[in-house]
Structure 1
């Protein structure tokens, strides 16, 4: 089977390629770069689909610059919704399964308890709105499934964990927002969930996949530094001061509590979620191996 993986150079795309063999797959993975497949260009996308005729699509690509989306709404809409509309049309026409990766930002964060898959969506900004519209576009195909995730990080690419390590090496003191609560997700675990879902025949269409446990960005940062020191990635941890969101103003408003209820989703594919601290430790081990080489 020919599986198209968009966003192949990103965190999730990287791990989908790295873990494919572990699942015993013999599929052909189509992993185009942006120069070959530009999701903001409808002609480029149409041309690619016609020429390569994928039999399964994992749309792991997205416009994810949350703050910049407020001033680049047309581009965010083109990638996060327009491209998905094209994938959905192809999916419907060719009976091609489609996995659309989405985000906790489709919720407002005002509920105060974990969001279930059928909770009403109320995105706060351009990014969240474009991703929600992408979900609705994907669901026009009966062969589509939505996977919402959050706070994704990896040893590959740019992310919060690597940013904290870089800042921790350069500074003695940092301030980190403490009133935004969520669940960090190791991209490798998300990739394995996707492969598991592909092999599962459950009728559910919307899934939530994050690592187990809950924390604030402040808690997450402190855990990063604690583990990094233990593993020799940092000589010493910087002093981290918690701050409120209003003390770190950004163009886009972020949900204060965007924890996703993943229990039904993990049960549907018969997988036990890994706690985020355990996953973080594994990721830092891999990062340490990379830095040695």
Structure 2
């Protein structure tokens, strides 16, 4: 029986994989939180992975506090760069399959058309820089890896934009949301299923892939969709990013082109509204 190690098990993606795992009893699933697979302690991490001996690794663990990363650069780079390189090295040396999750924040946001996997990377914040270095280390240590870049992840688990909006719209009469950052959300359950579909597929095609739900929207439009589905009475206003300053800059356009993963793995990716409805069931 092949053993699948899921890092970041208590995060959004790890939690969704845990839900799906019962449908795939042919695998021995190991869901590791930060105590079982310690991404910020490389010496311990190396020991832990060698003890687990996975055949397949879903690296969902990451330092994701985008604004905090500006002041915790060393920690962000340890988790998002150095730990990834170490995991990829293990995978290479032990003939294990590795799917590593990355981000749209490796781009600078200056494009006006959907970003494919060949577009030049140019992160504009520390988090994005650390994730890009992780991608580079991953493919350097193990060229047979699969990297999936995703964006605007949300889920019934953990903290995310959708859950924050649901709470605020019930607490307040009016909220403002930035309307000049364009992309597409990713329902973590959809991405989790895609990762399993890749493992289950008859072919393994290494490299970088993009994945998010279909649709091109702003955060403001996303909030309006949440309001409609939840039938909230809260008024939603759109504001420019300049009215909502944050320590880390965000790319203003990070819509991902998904043609590569759809074609090579024959995927049917749902529209964001279709997946968002599942949050309200």
2:162 maps to 161
Judging changes above 3 Å, is the alpha-carbon distance between structure 1 residues 82 and 204 closer, same or farther for their aligned structure 2 residues? Answer: closer
- 1:18 deviates by 1.0
SS at match of 1:98: strand
Tell me if structure 2 keeps the 8 A contact 1:99–1:145. yes
Tell me if structure 2 keeps the 8 A contact 1:177–1:242. yes
Aligned equivalents of 1:25 and 1:115: distance in 2?
36
- 1:284 deviates by 1.6
Aligned residues: 278
In structure 1, list runs of 5 or more residues that go unmatched: 230-235, 286-293
1:275 maps to 271
Matched, 1:77 2:77: yes
Residues 91-115 of structure 1, C-alpha deviations (whole Å, 9 max, x = no match): 1111211111000000111011111
In structure 2, list runs of 5 or more residues that go unmatched: none
Aligned equivalents of 1:160 and 1:268: distance in 2?
30
Matched, 1:238 2:234: yes
- 1:143 deviates by 2.4
2:184 maps to 183
2:99 maps to 99
Alignment of 1:1-293 (within 5 A): 1-22=2-23, 24-140=24-140, 141-200=142-201, 201-229=203-231, 236-285=232-281
Tell me if structure 1 keeps the 8 A contact 2:37–2:49. no
Residues 252-280 of structure 1, C-alpha deviations (whole Å, 9 max, x = no match): 11000100000121121111110000100
- 1:175 deviates by 0.7
Tell me if structure 2 keeps the 8 A contact 1:2–1:29. yes
Instruction: List 4+ stretches of structure 1 deviating above 3 A.
Output: none
Tell me if structure 2 keeps the 8 A contact 1:155–1:284. no
TM-score (norm 1): 0.93
SS at match of 1:175: strand
SS at match of 1:139: helix
Aligned equivalents of 1:217 and 1:25: distance in 2?
38
Aligned equivalents of 1:115 and 1:237: distance in 2?
35
TM-score (norm 2): 0.96
Tell me if structure 2 keeps the 8 A contact 1:178–1:218. yes
Supply the RMSD in Å over aligned alpha carbons. Answer: 1.1
Tell me if structure 2 keeps the 8 A contact 1:210–1:262. yes
- 1:26 deviates by 1.3
SS at match of 2:119: coil
Aligned equivalents of 1:196 and 1:50: distance in 2?
26
Tell me if structure 1 keeps the 8 A contact 2:4–2:58. yes
Residues 143-180 of structure 1, C-alpha deviations (whole Å, 9 max, x = no match): 21100000010111110000001111111010100000
Aligned equivalents of 2:233 and 2:198: distance in 1?
39
SS at match of 2:9: coil
Aligned equivalents of 1:134 and 1:91: distance in 2?
15
